[in-house]
């Protein structure tokens, strides 16, 4: 039984140039470089297995990026649009190569709440009316709830915030 053929990837000259620029840049994130390499090799006609071996990734990873590119290819600006808007082509390609949002529970506390709790930890507990010389995570959690920074928070969460930064 013949193996299925890989989804062909067609790149315009400017798309190819942007992907090659990502690969050559010393400041590009490695995940973006790897994805750009996959697309360039796919455009060159390499099979999924050959690309996977050459780049030391799973064949499924190669398939995923072929599919993502082919799905998004219709939304990328074409060559005529690029002539008017030189340099704007980088943004859609970089956006395409970035990770998609993953499912999961959203963050319980906003960055502002975390910063306010950390700032609270920098205050003297006695000026806040707490009869201790140093904050404990439990007392910080109670004070954060008393001040209305958060509705509810555990001492362990406060401890994680303080260790993080």
What was the pLDDT predicted at 89? 44
Contact 8, 48 (CB under 8 A): no
Which token pair is 144? Answer: 């954060």
SS (H, E, C) the chain: CCCCCCCCCCCCHHHHHHHHHHHHCCCCCHHHHHHHHHHHHHHCCCCHHHHHHHHCCCHHHHHHHHHHHHHHCCCCCCHHHHHHCCCCCHHHHHHHHCCCCCCCCCCCCCHHHHHHHHHHHHCCCCCCCCCCCCCCHHHHHHHHHHCCCCCCCCHHHHHHHHHHC
pLDDT of residue 37: 97
Contact 83, 120 (CB under 8 A): no
Q: Compute mean pLDDT per 10 residues along the chain, 165 residues long, and list them.
A: 74 93 94 96 94 96 94 72 46 87 87 95 90 93 95 96 83
pLDDT for position 84: 43
pLDDT at position 88 is 44
d(C-alpha 94, C-alpha 76), whole Å: 11
Q: Which tokens go with 34?
A: 């790897």
pTM: 0.60
């Amino acid at each position: 039984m013949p193996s299925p053929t890989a989804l062909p990837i067609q790149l315009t000259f400017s798309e190819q140039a942007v992907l090659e620029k990502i690969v050559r840049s010393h400041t590009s994130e490695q995940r973006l470089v790897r994805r750009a390499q996959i697309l360039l090799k796919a455009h060159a006609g390499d099979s999924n297995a050959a690309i996977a071996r050459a780049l030391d990734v799973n064949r499924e990873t190669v398939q995923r990026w072929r599919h993502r590119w082919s799905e998004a290819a219709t939304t990328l600006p074409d060559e005529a649009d690029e002539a008017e808007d030189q340099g704007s082509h980088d943004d859609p390609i970089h956006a395409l190569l970035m990770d998609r949002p993953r499912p999961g529970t959203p963050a319980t506390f906003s960055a502002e709440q975390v910063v306010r709790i950390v700032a609270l930890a920098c205050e003297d507990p006695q000026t806040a009316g707490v009869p201790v010389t140093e904050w404990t995570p439990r007392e910080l959690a109670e004070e954060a709830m008393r001040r209305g920074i958060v509705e509810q928070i555990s001492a362990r969460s406060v401890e994680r915030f303080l260790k993080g930064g």
